[in-house]
């Protein structure tokens, strides 16, 4: 076996120049020069004559029934061209995951009979100037009947919680179940045989992406009734397909020009501004700009979902984990967006990179009267990793075991059966931990240095 505590830097130096083309070598981004010289063109750098602007009148309540909407005063504002309501949206359903068959459709593009979070869009105002659009949106009058709101994930699942979703549950239904589930072995039997049982709670708050460039687009009518969309989307074809579905038009009617994103981190995969800008451009036959203010970006653009995780572990005196039970609550906010998928990703990541013979997990995608959450770098996995590895450190402290040794004792190996009933392969976790220990000068006992991911675990 190679000396794991020594790093052969000469090997890497020799090999880098001969076989590595990117890894381990400096590589300039293709767009870096444009960024640092100020020559990169963003969507807002494009100028069009007769450019109109869209602004939104938004809900002031977490949960309310809409009794009436009066747009008459908005139409009196000089420069206001049109007011767009849900009646003007051909297919008034926004669900980004419908492209991969996720249902039911649960979020209107513009609110119809109720609102489920503060900031939910109700009316779009199109005007000659941004100032006129803002003024017009402020003059829309909405009468509400306020309804009870649910703002906590566990409260949302309690039997006496007000049901906020028309489908009758405050959670996404996975193949008839209340949660995305993992059942492997007998977790209660595992706890019974354990020398120690530890349980801790971990939680995260919503995290806003806070991009330098706020979400926005400019839509320009073209000949043949087509529309050209200049967008800062992170996913041009995703945006094109979802926009076409909402407009109820052929995909070939639209062209999306993007590629330059002033910060996205996942948040700009949502297709929020383009459909309404397209409708406004069609109704006015003018180029239309719809861009979030910084306040809107912080309030209503999708954050990373808040998560609450309970992890209960049954552990033997030598540090072997023999049972793990996880209860995960992911706050989807008022609508689905990407969170049912993110919750599935979390379930797929449990119980972490460890071989545990008894695993029970319920991963809930929960609806609350909060801003809908969505994608953000590693969503569904990032917070789960934080919780799992925090749990490992706390167990190590409680049992006075070296935290790396605890991980090595439980690390999955090639051939191990994972909790999802898939055989582990290409694991390499043991080698990664060994190399990490060497890099920081953390001495491991010989028996841990002799471990290998390719060596079967002792019975």
What residue spans define the domains of the chain? 52-146+210-299, 180-207+303-410
DSSP3 helix / strand / coil % (the chain, rounded to 5): 30, 25, 45
Q: Does domain 52-146+210-299 have CATH number 3.90.1170.50?
A: yes
The structure tokens listed for 46 are 């494009």
CA distance 183 to 410: 19
CA distance 268 to 261: 8
Give the model's pLDDT for residue 2: 42
CB 339 within 8 A of CB 332: yes
The structure tokens listed for 186 are 């007998």
Residues sharing a CB contact under 8 Å with residue 400, sequence separation 6 or more, in sequence order: none
pLDDT, one tens digit for every residue, the chain (459 residues): 444 444 444 444 444 445 667 777 888 888 899 999 999 999 999 999 999 999 999 999 999 999 999 999 999 999 999 999 999 999 999 988 888 888 899 999 999 999 999 999 999 999 999 999 999 999 999 999 999 999 999 999 999 999 999 989 999 999 999 999 999 999 999 999 999 999 999 999 999 999 999 999 999 999 999 999 999 999 999 999 999 999 999 999 999 998 799 999 999 999 999 999 999 999 999 999 999 999 999 999 999 999 999 999 999 999 999 999 999 999 999 999 999 999 999 999 999 999 999 999 999 999 999 999 999 999 999 999 999 999 999 999 999 999 999 999 999 999 999 999 999 999 999 999 999 999 999 999 999 999 999 998 875
Smallest CA-to-CA distance from 358 within 186, 181, 180, 182 is with: 186
Fold match flag (52-146+210-299 vs 180-207+303-410):
no
Q: Does domain 180-207+303-410 have CATH number 3.30.365.10?
A: yes
DSSP assigned state of 372: P
The structure tokens listed for 356 are 């545990």
Give the model's pLDDT for residue 21: 73
């Amino acid at each position: 076996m190679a000396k794991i505590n020594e790093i052969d830097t000469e090997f890497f130096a020799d090999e880098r120049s001969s076989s590595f083309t990117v890894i381990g070598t400096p590589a300039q981004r293709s767009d870096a020069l444009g960024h640092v010289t100020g020559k990169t063109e963003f969507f807002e750098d494009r100028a069009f004559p007769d450019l109109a602007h869209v602004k939104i009148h938004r809900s002031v309540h977490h949960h309310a029934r809409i009794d009436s909407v009066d747009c008459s005063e908005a139409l009196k504002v000089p420069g206001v061209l049109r007011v767009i309501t849900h009646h003007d949206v051909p297919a008034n359903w926004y669900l980004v995951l419908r492209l991969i068959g996720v249902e039911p459709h649960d979020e209107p593009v513009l609110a119809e009979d109720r609102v489920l979070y503060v900031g939910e869009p109700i009316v779009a105002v199109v005007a000659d100037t941004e100032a006129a659009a803002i003024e017009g949106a402020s003059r829309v009058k909405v009468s509400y009947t306020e309804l009870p709101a649910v703002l906590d994930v566990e409260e949302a699942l309690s039997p006496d919680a007000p049901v906020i979703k028309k489908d009758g549950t405050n959670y996404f239904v996975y193949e008839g179940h209340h949660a995305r589930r993992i059942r492997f072995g007998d977790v209660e039997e595992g706890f019974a045989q354990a020398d120690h049982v530890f349980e801790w709670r971990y939680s995260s708050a919503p995290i806003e992406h806070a991009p330098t460039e706020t979400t926005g687009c400019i839509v320009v009518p073209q000949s043949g009734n087509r529309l050209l969309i200049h967008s800062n989307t992170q996913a041009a074809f995703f945006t094109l397909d979802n926009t076409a579905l909402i407009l109820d038009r052929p995909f070939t009617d639209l062209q999306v020009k993007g590629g330059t994103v002033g910060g996205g981190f996942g948040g700009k995969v949502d297709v929020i501004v383009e459909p309404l800008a397209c409708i406004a451009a069609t109704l006015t036959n003018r180029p239309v700009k719809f861009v979030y203010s910084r306040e809107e970006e912080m309030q209503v653009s999708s954050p990373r979902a808040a998560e609450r995780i309970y992890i209960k572990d049954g552990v033997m005196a030598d540090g072997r984990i023999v049972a793990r039970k996880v209860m995960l609550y992911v706050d989807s906010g008022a609508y689905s967006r990407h969170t049912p998928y993110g919750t599935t990703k979390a379930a797929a990541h449990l119980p972490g990179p460890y071989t545990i013979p008894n695993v029970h997990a319920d991963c809930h995608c929960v609806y609350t009267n909060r801003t809908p959450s969505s994608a953000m770098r590693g969503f569904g996995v990032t917070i789960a990793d934080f919780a799992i590895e925090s749990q490992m450190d706390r167990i190590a402290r409680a049992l006075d075991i070296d935290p790396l040794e605890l991980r090595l004792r439980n690390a999955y190996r090639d051939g191990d059966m994972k909790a999802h009933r898939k055989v582990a392969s290409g694991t390499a976790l043991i080698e990664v931990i060994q190399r990490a220990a060497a890099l920081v000068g953390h001495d491991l006992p010989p028996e841990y240095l002799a471990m290998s991911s390719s060596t079967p675990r002792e019975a």
